[in-house]
Every structure is written in C-alpha cells, then in structure tokens.
Amino acid sequence: MNNSITKKDTLLIVVGIIVTILIFYILLQYVDLQQMLQLFSKTEKWFILPALLISLTAKFFLAPFKWFRLLKFYHQTISFKETFLIWAAMTPMRAIFPLKSGALLHAVYLNRHHEVDWSKGVSSVVFDKFYNLLALLSLVPLAVIFLQIPLSIKIPTIILFLLFLILLFFGIGIRGAWSKLVPTLPTISFSQKLELFIMALIFQLSDVLVFFLVFKSLNSTPPFGMMLLYIPLAGIISNIPITIMGIGSREALLLVLFKSLYSPETLLGAGIIFSFVSYFITALAGLPFMLPFIKTWFQKKRDINFLK
C-alpha cells in the first residue's frame, strides 16, 4: 500500500510540475517579459526583507507552536524544541506533496518515536488544518465589509458566513461525522478552541501582511478588501494538487481578481515574489533540518540525537 501511495504522489508531483509550466507559459502570453524584468529591477528591497522575516516567523515559529499546543491538549509531552525541529524538517515535504499530505508524516513520527496512537497523530494534523481553514474562511466576511458591493448583497453574505463559521467553530453537526473518521477526537474546551483559532488567524493575517509588503515593494497599494479576499482563495488553491506549492495557480488568480487595477506585468511580478517569499524560501529554509531528521527517522524510539 505504501508503495502505491508513493507512486501516486510521485505521479501527482510530476503532473503538478507540468501544469505549473503550462500555466506560466499561458500567463507569459499576456505579459511583456522585458517590462516585468524591468519592474523586478526597480523592486524596493526594504519591503521584501520584512516580508521574508514575517513569513519565516509565521511558518517556523507560530505554526509549530500551534501544533505544540494542540498536542498538549492531547496530553502528549513533547517539547517545543522537538516539535519545531519536526515541523521545520518536514516543511519542504508539506510544500511539495499533493494536498500537503506530507503533514501526515507528523503522525508517523509521533507513532514511531513517542508511541502516540496513529489515529491520534492523524487527528492532530486534521485539527491543525481545520483551524487554519476556519481562520482562512473568517477573512471572507471581513473582506466583504471593505468591498464596494451593494448592501443588499454585503449584509446577507456576512451573516451567512458568520453563522457558518460559528457552526464550524463549535463543531455543530460535524462532530458525529468526524468521530467516525477520527475515533480519538479530543474534547477541547472553549478557551482551547479560541487559543487555536487566534493563532491560526494571526498565521493567516501574516500572509495578508506579506502580500501587502510585496505590492508596496512594487510601488503599489492594493485595496484592503481585495487583499483579504485574495488570501483565502489563494490558500484554498494552494491545497489543490494541480501545481507545485500552488505556484502558477496563485498568479493566475491574482491576474483575474486585480486585472482592472494593475497591469499584467505588475500582477504577475507580485504573484511570483509572493510565492517566492511565502512558499519557496520557506521550503528551502527547511532543507538544513531534513538530513538530521532523516537520520533520526531510522533510529530507535526516543533516541533523538538531532535534538542534542
């Protein structure tokens, strides 16, 4: 079974690379490449540096800390240092594997080195992604507030989204279904749910800030409502296994949403820089942690030398 999954993932990765190349080929038909390269040469680097620091902090500190707290709610005594190193080492795999299925290796590691039940490990990954999705969707009603649309559409949309988010937050109507899929679904208190949601929301807002700084580096200021709308859509698209790390699909979405505000060169340039800062660099930053982690993977349980 493991071999078939590996072959399937490999095939999806190859298809993802091909689709990414095809999307960029199509996008470049609408862009003056020389003009875009000139735009890159005029990029304000002082905006890129804080964007990079924010992205790395969110993905290498906030994200593993959220998972660390979630494991605490499972009564698993794993140090934050170990949680951080697991998360950092698996960052490249989460970025490349379809639907971020590389995150399931977290559950394998917990089972192998800490004797954590497989279903508990998987449910910790599911819950972590669930709160990320919840925070991502919460940006939509906030975006609608700032969008220039009729009140007759704006108010019902906000109300419906808020009701939907409340139902998801309290697990109304889904707990029974989830308990069948994940038998070890934990009982999490309201304060614990709120803590996870706030951390997930800060994580998503960090992408909004990075997106803003990227546009500022190109001497542009995107409308606040449009930024809040783009980030959830980009996040969802990034999880669809059609391109590698969502590269290409995010840029295409950017050209569709902002085509009336900026030139194709500015939009494609902003999309490339955003993908580079938020996804590509963070994946590269995880590579130094992979070798010691791989060595640890084949060691005996709890013999975790790479933590010393």
* Per-residue CA distances from 305 to 65, 95, 111, 308 (Å): 21, 26, 18, 6
In angstroms, rounded to a whole number, what is the distance separating the alpha carbons of residues 73 and 175? 17
Mean predicted confidence (pLDDT) in 143-161: 86
- Scanning 171-263, the segments in alpha helix (DSSP H) are 175-181, 190-217, 224-238, 249-257
CB 256 within 8 A of CB 30: no
Q: pLDDT grade, residue 306 (50/70/90)? A: very low
User: pTM for the whole thing?
Assistant: 0.83
Is the pLDDT at 148 greater than 70? The verdict is: yes
Q: What mean pLDDT, rounded, does the chain reach?
A: 81
In angstroms, rounded to a whole number, what is the distance separating the alpha carbons of residues 217 and 219? 5
Kindly give the interhelix angle for 190-217 and 118-146, rounded to the nearest 10 degrees: 60
How many helices (H) does the chain have, and how many strands (E)?
15, 0
Convert the pLDDT of each residue in 2-23 to its tens digit.
443 456 667 767 777 888 889 8
> For the chain, what is the domain count?
1
Convert the pLDDT of each residue in 159-209 to its tens digit.
888 888 887 777 644 555 555 545 555 567 788 888 999 999 999 999 999
Residue-range definition of the domain harbouring residue 102: 2-307
> In this structure, how many other beta carbons lie within 10 angstroms of the beta carbon of residue 279?
20
